[in-house]
Amino acid sequence: MIILNYEEIKLFIADFLTNADKSFGFISSPSGTGKTFVLRRYCQENSTAVYLKLPAAKLSTRSLLLEILNSLGVPIVNRYQAYRIPQLIQLLKFVIPNTQISHLVVDDIELVSVNRNRVELFEIIKHLSIELPVKFVLTGTQIPELPVSMKIRSNFYITA
């Protein structure tokens, strides 16, 4: 089993961030290769990156948006639980431009594969990447089936 190399991941993300045509960077590697460790370290060392782990229990569009808000340090996220998806997106449109965040690192993206709302979740991520000055680094043990519109706007780093 290959352990992820921190410097290689850092270079992949740096290259991805400088490519204006790409909004999504996918990193795929088997369990136990150090993805979470490397990506958390990367986010700790880069003030423009925010790490978030997808909630395994109740992955929904709303929970994804709330998790993004939580990872951005929005106080009293519970207050926004009753917000509808368009309201949460508007809140993100207000919050993100007022930060120095340029990219979100989303771990466990493979959880989207088994979710019945997979298409909706990816559409929300795509919408956020268009509407906000932020890119997404999506990581996991496998890359879920992607809509064509996302594939063409993506870079990939895959280990076996």
Rounded CA-CA distance 115/111 in Å is 7
Instruction: Check residue 96 and give its pLDDT.
Output: 93
In a domain, 146, yes or no: yes
Instruction: Check residue 57 and give its pLDDT.
Output: 62
DSSP letter string, 109-134: GGGGTT-TTHHHHHHHHHHHHHHSS-
For position 32, which CATH number holds? 3.40.50.300
In a domain, 62, yes or no: yes
In terms of residue numbers, what domain contains 55? 6-158
In a domain, 60, yes or no: yes
Task: Going from the first residue of the chain to its last (160 residues), give the mean pLDDT of each consecutive group of 10, the final group possibly shorter.
Answer: 91 95 94 95 97 80 87 80 88 92 93 74 87 93 86 91
| Strand order through the sheet with 154-158 | 49-53, 103-107, 135-140, 24-28, 154-158
CB 1 within 8 A of CB 30: yes
In a domain, 1, yes or no: no
Instruction: Check residue 102 and give its pLDDT.
Output: 95
C-alpha dihedral sign at 21, 120, 88, 26: negative
The count of structural domains within the chain is 1
Instruction: Check residue 123 and give its pLDDT.
Output: 85
- pTM for the full model? 0.91
Hey, what are 133's tokens?
């000055």
